[in-house]
Amino acid sequence: MRSESITTHTFRLIPGQDLLEAIELIARSQNILAGCVLTCVGSLTKYNIRFANKSTGSTGTGHFEIINLSGTISSNGCHLHIGISDNLGNMIAGHLLTENIVYTTAEIIIGELAGLEFNRIADSATGWKELQIRITGF
C-alpha cells in the first residue's frame, strides 16, 4: 500500500496524562484514519505494558525515560509498542496499554497517511485484533 502524502500532528502531553488515552483522543478528534508514530520522547512515572505472548500487563512505578514509541494509529484503533529505561538505564519494552502516566512531558509527532484507512479486525489465526488496510483514494 502506498500513501502519496503525510500530514503531521505534533503535540505535547503534560504531567499526569495517560499516554495511550491521549494518543487515541488525538486520533479520534483529528479523524486520523491511518497514521504512525514518527517520534516520541518524554518520561513516565508509571508504566503498564504487555510483554510478548502474555495476556496481561506488567506495571511499575518510578522514573522512566521513553526511548521509543512505534506503531499504527487510527481513530478505529491503535497498536503501539514502547521501550523505556529506568533511572539505572535498564530497558524494558512491550505493547502499550493504558495507565502509562506522563512524568514531565511526552513530545509526539504522528504522521497521517493520506489515502489509507486502518482498522483492527479479529484474526482467527492469531487470536488478536490485527491490522486491516483499506485504500480510500487520494
**Above pLDDT 70, what percent of the chain?**
97
- Collapsed DSSP state (helix, strand, coil) of residue 47: strand
| pLDDT single digits (tens) 10-47 | 999 999 999 999 999 999 999 999 999 999 999 999 99
| pLDDT single digits (tens) 120-130 | 999 999 988 99
Q: How many Cα atoms occupy the beta-carbon half-sphere of 97 within 13 Å?
A: 17
End-to-end CA distance of the chain: 12
pLDDT tier at 105, thresholds 50, 70, 90: very high
pLDDT tier at 52, thresholds 50, 70, 90: very high
pLDDT tier at 115, thresholds 50, 70, 90: very high
| Total residues found in the chain within this entry | 138
**Domains, the chain:** 7-135 (3.30.1330.80)
pLDDT (0 to 100) of residue 4: 74
